Amino acid sequence: MTELDFDQGVFSDWFSEQAGRSGDLQIEPMRGGGSCEMFVCTSSEERFVIRRAPLTAVSDTAHDVVREFKVIQALSGDGLRVPEVLVACDDDAVLGAPFYIMRYVDGEVIRRKLPDHYIAKPETQPAIGEELIDALVQLHAFDWRGTAMEDLSNPEQFLERQVKRWTTQLEGYRCRDLPGVDEVALWLEANRPPPGRLTVMHGDYKVDNAMYSRAVPPRIITLVDFEMTTVGDPLIDLAWCMIFWPEEGNLIAIAAPGSPGGMDAAHCQRPEELVNRYAINTGCSLENFQWYQAFAAWKLGIVLEGSFAKFLSGESKNPNHEFFGFLVDQLMVRAQRFAHQE
C-alpha cells in the first residue's frame, strides 16, 4: 500500500476523542506484515503504530485485532516483552476494519538480512538465537490463571482439537492441491502425544516477530504479532520458531549463512542447540518434539494458504501473499519430513 485507503479526518477526530491526542496527525503505510495492515502515526513528538485487520478476512476467526489488543493488555505489566497498547476500535466506519494502536518502538526486525552493525560484529550474533529462546522461556513462565488470558483462551483438550480445527479452516478456502497436507493430518492424529503443560503460547513465534535492539549485542526489545496467542502447548511455539531458523536444506530460513547479509556461519547455532537451551531452562521433555515440528509446519502452511488463496482470487494485492504460495509448499515438505522420520 502506498496511499491511505481511509479518511484521515475521520480517524483524527476519533483518535483525539479516544486517546486524548489532538493536533495534526501524519499517517503513512508501513512496509512489512503478512496478515494485518500497519500504519505509522505521528502526533506532535509521539509516534504510534496502527494495526488494522485486512479489509477482507480469510475466515471469521482470523485477524481478530481487538482480541489481540486484549491479549497484549493481559500480558502487560509483568516484565514480558510486549508492546505498549493504547486503544482498540471495532467500528469499521473509522478505518474500514477493526484496529488497535500501540506505541512505536524503534528497533530492528530481522527478515532477509541482518542489520549492518550486526554483520560488522559477527561474534555478537549468537545473541539473536539466545534472546529468541530466552524471551520465549519468559513468556511461557507467565502465570495466566486468574488473568484475562483465561477468558480469551480455551485450553481444555487443546491438542486434541488442533488437527480438526485447522483441517476445517483449510476447507474454507482450499483452492489447489497441497501435496502431503491430508497425509500429515492423518499422521498427526495417529501419533498425537499425551497432553502436557499449559502455558501462554505466542502462536506465531519466530525471529521476525521480535524487534531487536539497534545496538549490539542484539537484545529483544519487544515481541509483536499476538494475533494467534492463546493458552496451549508451549512446544508448538518452540517448534514454530525453528521453522525459519537456518539449517541445511531450509529454503525459507531467515538470514541464513551464505545468503546476502546472512548470519556468520561460525556464529550461527544449529536448531538443536537452541531447542536444548529451551529444554534446559524449562525442564521440559523433548521426547515427542518430532510431532510438534511436523504439526507446526503443517499448521503454518494452512494459515498462510489462506492469504495465498486471497491473492489467487484477486481479493489481495499484497505481494507478501503471492510469496506465501512458495512458503506453503516448503512448509508441507518440512511437515512430511518430520512425519516420516522413524
In this predicted structure, the answer to whether residue 59 has a pLDDT above a threshold of 60 is no
In this predicted structure, the answer to whether residue 61 has a pLDDT above a threshold of 70 is no
Q: What is the predicted pLDDT for the residue at 24?
A: 81
> What average pLDDT does range 270-281 have in this prediction?
98
CA within 13 Å, CB half, 49: 19
> What average pLDDT does range 35-42 have in this prediction?
88
179 contacts: CB under 8 Å, gap ≥ 6: 332, 336
- Band (34; pLDDT cuts 50, 70, 90): low
* pLDDT tens for each residue of 172-182: 999 999 999 99
Q: What is the predicted pLDDT for the residue at 2?
A: 61
In this predicted structure, the answer to whether residue 341 has a pLDDT above a threshold of 80 is no
In this predicted structure, the answer to whether residue 152 has a pLDDT above a threshold of 70 is yes
284 contacts: CB under 8 Å, gap ≥ 6: 196, 197, 234, 235, 278
Q: How far is CA 17 from CA 10, 89, 227, 262, 311, in A?
A: 11, 12, 26, 45, 36
Q: What is the predicted pLDDT for the residue at 178?
A: 93
What CA–CA distance (Å, rounded) separates 33 from 302?
Answer: 17
Candidates 29, 101, 37; CA nearest to 66 is 101
CB atoms within 10 A of CB 3: 6
In this predicted structure, the answer to whether residue 91 has a pLDDT above a threshold of 80 is yes
* pLDDT tens for each residue of 302-333: 999 999 999 999 988 888 889 999 999 999 99
Residue with cell 497441497: 178
Cis ω on the peptide bond leading into residue 217 (within 30° of 0)? yes
Show the cell assigned to 171. 476447507
Question: Helix, strand or coil for residue 148?
Answer: helix
- Band (25; pLDDT cuts 50, 70, 90): confident
What CA–CA distance (Å, rounded) separates 240 from 207?
Answer: 10
Q: What is the predicted pLDDT for the residue at 260?
A: 95
Q: What is the predicted pLDDT for the residue at 60?
A: 53
In this predicted structure, the answer to whether residue 238 has a pLDDT above a threshold of 80 is yes
In this predicted structure, the answer to whether residue 266 has a pLDDT above a threshold of 90 is yes
Q: What is the predicted pLDDT for the residue at 153?
A: 96
Show the cell assigned to 23. 493536533
Q: Which long-range contacts (CB under 8 A, 24 or more apart) does 271-279 make?
A: 271/242, 271/245, 271/247, 273/129, 274/129, 274/130, 274/132, 274/133, 274/242, 274/245, 275/238, 275/242, 277/130, 277/133, 277/134, 278/133, 278/136, 278/137, 278/238
Candidates 325, 132, 114, 295; CA nearest to 220 is 132
317 or 100, which is more confident?
100
Question: Helix, strand or coil for residue 267?
Answer: helix
Residue 49 identity: V
In this predicted structure, the answer to whether residue 62 has a pLDDT above a threshold of 80 is no
Question: In this structure, what are the phi and psi dihedrals at residue 237, rounded to the nearest 5 degrees?
Answer: -60, -45
| Alpha-helical runs (H) found in the chain | 8-19, 65-75, 92-95, 116-119, 126-140, 148-151, 158-171, 181-190, 234-242, 271-282, 289-313, 319-339
* pLDDT tens for each residue of 65-89: 999 999 999 999 888 999 999 999 9
Q: What is the predicted pLDDT for the residue at 147?
A: 95
What CA–CA distance (Å, rounded) separates 191 from 291?
Answer: 7
What CA–CA distance (Å, rounded) separates 52 from 35?
Answer: 9
In this predicted structure, the answer to whether residue 138 has a pLDDT above a threshold of 90 is yes
Q: What is the predicted pLDDT for the residue at 93?
A: 94
* pLDDT tens for each residue of 196-236: 999 999 999 999 999 999 999 999 999 999 999 999 999 99
Percent of the chain with pLDDT over 90: 81
What CA–CA distance (Å, rounded) separates 191 from 176?
Answer: 27
Q: What is the CA radius of gyration of the chain?
A: 20
